[in-house]
């Protein structure tokens, strides 16, 4: 007599074992892709901060992009994530993060959560990350993804990032991942003394300037860093309104 129960159990074990093996192969491929990204894009491009390189080598970028573009997750280019938004290319993520000179005790504000990838990188490097996303659907999906991946120190809310997050201010550093045509005053006001703010400035469809600001003795020091192209900041940024 055929032991159907045993046969089914055996087939299930083979199926599960084969599935696990495929997952392992896929993860190995992603790991190799991340290693190649770090070596060929970041280190070759001048990224030297050990913490940034470690975070970029560990955070699974492919988890933060739609399935349709997942094969391109570790290429050095921006990718669409829906709702007219993009995930920045790896080099820009690393460059902006390195420019902030983060420490483990820093509290960071991010304007423009997107899919959550930049927030995840920040979460590996500092104490707390507060990230604002103006598209409610992206805020919800990124919050869920970051929670699933264990980023308990990253806090996401839907809202207009032009106004910052005054309830959680002041911040040691602020990173803006969308481009207004001027520096939002509320963000400057929420920056600590000695704090750093990195932001792309310029109109949509033009070459924008990635700018690093430092608050020193109440003054704002400006340093132009790179020519870039980012999606525009929307909401109050389009008419210059503030929360006064």
| 105 C-beta neighbours (distance < 10 Å), count | 9
CB 163 within 8 A of CB 236: yes
The whole-angstrom separation of Cα 64 and Cα 237 is 26
Measuring CA to CA, which residue among 238, 193, 222, 228 is closest to residue 208? 228
Please state, as a whole number, how many other Cβ atoms lie within 10 Å of the Cβ of residue 119.
30
- Active site positions, annotated: 88
In our burial notation (b when 16+ CB lie closer than 10 A, e otherwise), range 63-85 reads bbbeeeeeeebbeeebbebeeeb
What tokens appear for 121 in the block? 């990188």
* Three-class secondary structure of residue 75 per DSSP: coil
């Amino acid at each position: 007599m055929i032991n159907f129960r045993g046969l089914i159990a055996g087939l299930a074990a083979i199926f599960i074992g084969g599935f696990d093996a495929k997952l392992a192969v896929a993860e190995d491929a992603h790991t190799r892709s991340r290693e190649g990204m770090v070596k060929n894009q970041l280190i070759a491009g001048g990224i030297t901060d050990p913490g940034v390189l470690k975070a970029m080598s560990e955070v699974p970028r492919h988890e933060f992009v739609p399935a349709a573009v997942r094969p391109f997750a570790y290429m050095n280019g921006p990718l669409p994530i829906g709702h007219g938004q993009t995930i920045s290319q790896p080099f820009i993520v690393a460059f902006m993060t390195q420019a902030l000179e983060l420490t483990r005790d820093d509290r960071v504000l991010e304007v423009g959560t997107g899919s959550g990838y930049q927030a995840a990188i920040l979460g590996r490097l500092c104490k707390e990350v507060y990230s604002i996303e103006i598209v409610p659907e992206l805020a919800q999906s990124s919050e869920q993804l970051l929670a699933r991946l264990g980023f308990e120190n990253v806090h996401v809310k839907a809202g207009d990032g032009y106004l910052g997050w005054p309830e959680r201010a002041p911040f040691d550093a602020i990173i803006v991942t969308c481009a207004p045509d001027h520096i939002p005053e509320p963000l400057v006001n929420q920056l600590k003394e000695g704090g750093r703010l990195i932001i792309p400035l310029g109109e949509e469809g033009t070459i924008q300037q990635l700018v690093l600001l430092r608050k020193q003795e109440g003054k704002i020091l400006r340093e132009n860093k790179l020519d870039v192209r980012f999606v525009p900041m929307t909401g109050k940024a389009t008419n210059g309104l503030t929360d006064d």
